[in-house]
Amino acid sequence: MIIRALTITAAAIALSGCISLFPKAEPVTLYKLTIAPPPPPASSTTTSVVLRGPTAFTRIGSSDRIVTMIGAETATVAAARWAAPANVMFDEALVTAFDGVSSRLITRGDVAPADQILRVEVRSFEARYVNGLESAPTIVVEARASLIGVRDRTQSGARTFHVEQPASDNRVSAIVDAFNAATTKATTDIAKWTESQAPRR
């Protein structure tokens, strides 16, 4: 199924300035990010405990729509959607990524005392058509992570993670595979960075 441009008219359905790339009548196929579990850390000793704060997403990026960028125009794929909102799947991938490091990621309500709070702001989670609609897009995932001390509430570190993953083809399945790869890379890098920045117990 190749993504093709449609003529944009005044009757096009808009959602906050976003248009649909497919006719509305086509059936919707649901896709889910499938992040492979990382290998366990070399040591089973927990070096730090990090509380996961709420992940911030752009408004359209946090929906179940697969977002694309065509130049300066934001669009969505009408015949395909995420099985869950993108921000929920990103959080699930982040939790999985922490299985591969010695820092332990917890959520509010867990009994373990945390050393720091991890806050993540996902600024880009989209497929960008940089070479036209007939070419395969590049998936861009950009997230800024910051660590906040639990006791003094001061920021101890911050870093922006930018991942670009070209899709192998201009098909939705190939685009989803590229989203998987980009999300895995971004969340793995965040987990490893957190492990390196968090204070050792």
- What CATH architecture does domain 46-197 belong to? 3-Layer(aba) Sandwich (3.40)
Instruction: Quick: pLDDT tens for 90-105.
Output: 999 999 999 999 999 9
Distance separating alpha carbons of residues 113 and 63, to the nearest angstrom: 32
Q: How far apart are CA 121 and CA 143, in angstroms?
A: 5
pLDDT recorded at residue 90: 96
Amino acid 150: pLDDT: 82
What pLDDT score does 111 carry?
Answer: 66
CA distances from 33 to 67, 70, 101, 188 (A): 14, 23, 21, 14
Low-confidence stretches of the chain (pLDDT beneath 50): 1-17, 19, 22-25
Distance CA 135, CA 89 (A): 27
- pLDDT, position 10: 26
Contact (Cβ atoms closer than 8 angstroms) between residue 187 and residue 94: yes
Look at residue 59 in the predicted model and tell me its pLDDT. 86
Q: Look up the pTM and report it.
A: 0.82
Tell me the domain boundaries of the chain.
46-197
pLDDT given at position 92: 95
- Note the pLDDT of residue 21: 56
